[in-house]
């Protein structure tokens, strides 16, 4: 049989006849109760004129400070096919009363038209990495028919934008959802309407706004309220808030699948060994089945993340073998574990880029990872952890212990909140070798760069850069990355 004949006999899928264009003018107008200026088709949706690509629909959002309508001409110049606007403009467009509401309406239309299995991911720590790993697993399994939210588009604008971008042919959709206050996740999960709701972990992130870890757990549990009938909740078995999460999921009518080291975990860790590349060889059990796979990303937290990923993929009807391959091949994300090899006197230094986010749990996890990283010297550049409120001094001071356990030779502390840790280290806190941890306290990333340059980077050093995004340590990573070699 010829190759052409074999292709013609290939079994079809229900989505094969679906139009390749993402949206037509009429579909956008119908979804948003708007008026189209002309017929057109778009292949993408974008809200930032700088990121517009040829074929995109540019959504001119109006905020408290900035009005996207000012950038409609720039969007067209960058290749936009049409714009979603609340006033007439030159060029193809759909005119609506409110572009923010129209984006939400377009997202709702997108969610209604797909037959995809949709996974929503939230948690205090690890949600972006877990989202990416679930997507990579299902993308491999489905042959490219998976969709996910990019970057950390997890808020009241990012979620509907990500939904509106989901192709009709998608078999799977993976969406990250974040929150700072109670009630925010309930609104997002109502839009996503997941078939599977994942909570990675509960930790004191945003505790300034919520007051306690119990309140954080309750806020994260709002994701279960949006589950479709017959949905599954994937939750951490090792969390002290496991029962709280489980009860909330059951009250929403969900099937509960747990992951972790605990004996009652459905996806249970049996063993984990560190391998030569810094990752892990993991053995896990799910029922009577045993799974053995590699995790490329280093650190204990990624062992737990991998169990979460496998549980979610299994619940989605994906292939665990494909998930194992995806976990073995994943590299760190920019600002969330990416590793840079940079030139330094005597050879090369390793820079671990965790500059996008930080809270007490993730700080401890990444410092522990630094402690297991082979290096002649270990350097930690730590930015302030935000949204901790009255708990901030205690949580920052407590970082002296993981710093010491990681055998850090030099710490650069950045931001006002780091005063508490500087005071603690100033008491002469010894590392595992009995030596005090040397440190410098800086006000900003510019001073941190100067402190690091004065200390002097050498070949064989390992440098962890971690802090809340607003501290601006990405600038320091960019500075070091200029030496990449």
pLDDT in tens, 226-262: 999 999 999 999 999 999 999 999 999 999 999 999 9
Mean pLDDT for the chain overall: 91
- Determine the pLDDT at residue 152: 75
The DSSP-derived string for 31-49 is HHT-EESS--EESEEES-G
Output the pLDDT for position 277: 72
The two beta strands, 410-414 and 438-442, are parallel
Q: How far is CA 304 from CA 237, 268, 280, 283, in A?
A: 10, 10, 11, 12
What's the pLDDT tens digit per position in 298-316?
A: 888 999 999 999 999 999 9
Collapsed DSSP state (helix, strand, coil) of residue 321: helix
pLDDT digits (tens, 9 = 90+) for 407-465: 999 999 999 999 999 999 998 767 666 678 899 999 999 999 999 999 999 999 999 99
Question: What pLDDT was estimated at residue 25?
Answer: 97
Residue of higher predicted confidence among 194 and 17? 194
Q: State the pLDDT at residue 335.
A: 83
pLDDT at 10: 46
Cα separation of 416 and 442, whole Å?
Answer: 8
Confidence of residue 13 (pLDDT cuts 50, 70, 90): low
Distance of CA 93 to the CA centre of its chain: 32
Residue 8 in this model has a pLDDT that exceeds 50: no
Give pLDDT tens digits for 94-116. 999 999 999 999 999 999 999 99
In contact, 200 and 236? CB cutoff 8 Å:
yes
Strands 196-199 and 255-260: what pairing?
unpaired
* Residues 337, 331: Cα–Cα separation, whole Å: 8
Checking if the pLDDT of 367 tops 80, the result is yes
Task: Provide the 10 A C-beta neighbour count for residue 466.
Answer: 27
First and final C-alpha spacing in the chain: 51
* b/e sequence 87-113, b meaning 16+ C-beta within 10 Å: eebebbbbbbeebbebbbbbbbbbbee
Which pLDDT score is estimated for 15? 46
Give CA–CA dist 161/149, Å, rounded: 8
pTM (two decimals): 0.83
């Amino acid at each position: 049989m010829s190759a052409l004949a074999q292709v013609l006999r290939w079994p079809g899928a229900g989505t094969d006849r679906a139009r390749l264009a993402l949206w037509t003018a009429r579909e956008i107008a119908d979804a948003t109760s708007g008026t189209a200026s002309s017929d057109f088709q778009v292949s993408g949706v974008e809200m930032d004129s700088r990121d517009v690509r040829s074929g995109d629909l540019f959504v001119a959002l109006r905020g408290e400070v900035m009005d996207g309508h000012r950038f409609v001409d720039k969007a067209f110049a960058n290749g936009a096919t049409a714009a979603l606007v609340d006033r007439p403009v030159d060029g193809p467009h759909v005119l609506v009363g409110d572009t923010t509401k129209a984006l939400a309406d377009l997202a709702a239309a997108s969610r209604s038209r797909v037959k995809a299995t949709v996974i929503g991911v939230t948690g205090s720590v690890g949600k972006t990495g877990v989202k990416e790993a679930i997507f990579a697993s299902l993308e491999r399994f489905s042959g490219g028919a998976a969709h996910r939210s990019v970057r950390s588009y997890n808020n009241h604008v990012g979620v509907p934008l990500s939904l509106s971008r989901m192709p009709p042919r998608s078999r799977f959709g993976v969406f990250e959802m974040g929150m700072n206050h109670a009630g925010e996740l309930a609104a997002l999960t109502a839009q996503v309407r997941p078939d599977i709701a994942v909570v990675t972990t509960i930790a004191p992130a945003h505790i300034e706004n919520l007051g306690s870890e119990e309140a954080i757990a309750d806020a994260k549990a709002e994701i279960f309220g949006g589950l479709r009938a017959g949905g599954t909740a994937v939750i951490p078995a090792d969390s002290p808030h496991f029962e709280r999460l489980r009860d909330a999921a059951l009250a929403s009518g969900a099937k509960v699948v747990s992951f972790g080291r605990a004996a009652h975990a459905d996806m249970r860790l049996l063993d984990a060994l560190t391998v030569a590349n810094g990752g892990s060889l993991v053995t896990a059990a799910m029922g009577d089945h045993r799974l053995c796979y590699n995790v490329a990303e280093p650190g204990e937290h990624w062992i737990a993340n991998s169990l979460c990923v496998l549980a979610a993929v299994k619940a989605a009807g994906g292939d665990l073998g494909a998930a194992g391959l995806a976990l073995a091949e994943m590299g760190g994300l920019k600002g969330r574990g990416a590793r840079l090899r940079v030139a330094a006197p005597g050879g090369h230094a390793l820079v671990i880029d965790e500059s996008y986010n930080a809270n007490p749990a993730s700080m401890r996890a990444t410092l522990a990872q630094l402690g297991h990283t082979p290096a002649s010297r270990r350097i930690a550049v730590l930015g302030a952890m935000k949204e901790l409120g009255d708990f901030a001094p205690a949580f920052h001071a407590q970082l002296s212990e993981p710093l010491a356990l990681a055998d850090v030779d030099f710490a650069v502390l950045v931001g006002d909140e780091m005063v508490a840790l500087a005071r603690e280290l100033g008491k002469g806190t010894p590392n595992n070798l009995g030596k005090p941890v040397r440190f410098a306290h800086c006000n900003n990333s510019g001073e941190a760069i100067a402190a690091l340059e004065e200390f002097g980077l050498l070949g064989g050093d390992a440098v962890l850069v971690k802090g809340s995004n607003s501290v601006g340590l990405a600038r320091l990573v960019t500075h070091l990355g200029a030496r990449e070699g």
